[in-house]
Structures are given as structure tokens and as C-alpha cells.
Chains A and B, each alone.
Chain A
């Protein structure tokens, strides 16, 4: 069956621009997660949704980052006024049921490069 789909797979943008990253979770998965992975690092938690609501957004680095999941399925991560330090792979994951214990299924990520 279809896995977690993330689009675009690559995004190059100029410093100061606005970007949106999309995540299509596995159908029926109620929990959705965003992580960020910088070069040579493990994934770093950003935000977790249970249904339509953000259950934990404490990993978002600052108020330039925002994520929504209006219908409890697709999610969009939005970054305003991008900075070079935002360059990373942004990973989305979904799980059937919530934590703890439910295995996460990751997408292949969006590689964001801010020039």
C-alpha cells in the first residue's frame, strides 16, 4: 500500500522567502509527526498532531515555523522568512493510533536548501 508521501522532494529557496512543505500520511493514520534532520544528525522533533490538533508543538524552533492539519489527514509545514540555518531534510511520519508505542512510518523527506 501507499506509504507517507512528502512533496516536494527538493526545495531550493532564497533567504527571506516563504515555503510550504506537504505531507500525505498513510490513510487512516491518526497521528502525524514532523521532524527535521540536519547533515550528520539524527532527526529532531518539531511537532505532533493527533487528529486535527497539535498535541505538542514545543519542538518548533521559533515563530517562523507553523504547521497545520485542518482535516486530520494532510499536513503542511510552513516556514516564513527562511534563513540559511533552516536548510535540512524535513521528515514527516504517521502512525496508526497515538504514542507511546505505535510504530512510526516515515516519508522520504523534503530536502530544503536556503541560499
Chain B
């Protein structure tokens, strides 16, 4: 059972289109991170959101943390082929014995065609 559910699992779009990826849970997290992973490489951190309702922008990427800190979304504007990759969300409980643990979703595999 995944603590974090990501949707869609696969997304294939044309260059220039907009898209949104969702990350949902029934659990509350102290923070949530988004990573991008390319084949044969480890995940690379894109952003960390901490406050409920927080919105962070990174160029064409907009990240939002839900008010209740149970869900998050990633919106990409005018996608480019270089955005292709596996997008992973990961939540931290931030307390107790699981302080050091991140719970990852299965990821959304994004392919952007020229």
C-alpha cells in the first residue's frame, strides 16, 4: 500500500502544452518534496513545501501544498522535451521514530514530444 498516491502514472504530451500532476494521501506530512528522476540516475530535488497552502514557483513549474498538508500538485506551463522524466513526490512525517524517513509515491512518467 502506497502512502502517497500519484496521478496520472503516465503522461504523454506535445511540446507547449500545460499539465498538472497530483500527489494525494490520507496522512498529514510536515513537509513534502518533489523530485525529478532520469533513467540511470538518482532523484534530484526540485522543491520542498512546508506550509499548508504554500505555493512555490520554479520557472515554468508551480508547486502547491494542500491546506491540510495531505496533498500536493505540480503544474508545468508550456512543457518542453527537457521536462521529460519521472516526477516523484515524497512526504516527511517530521517527527518521532520516522523522522529521517521520506515516503515516496510511485511517480508520474512524463514524456514531452517535440
Contact = CB atoms under 8 A, between A and B. Distances in A.
Given A42-B106, A45-B103, A107 B42 contact: yes
B42 A91 contact: yes
A47 to B, nearest CB: 9
Contacts of B92: 99-101
Chain B interface residue bracket vs A: 20 to 34
Interface in B84-114: 88, 90, 92, 94-95, 97-107
Interface of B: 2, 4, 6, 30-31, 33, 40-45, 48, 50, 88, 90, 92, 94-95, 97-107
24 contacts: A4-B42, A31-B100, A42-B2, A42-B6, A42-B107, A43-B43, A43-B90, A45-B102, A45-B103, A48-B100, A48-B101, A55-B100, A56-B100, A58-B97, A59-B101, A98-B99, A99-B101, A100-B30, A101-B92, A104-B33, A104-B45, A104-B102, A108-B40, A109-B41
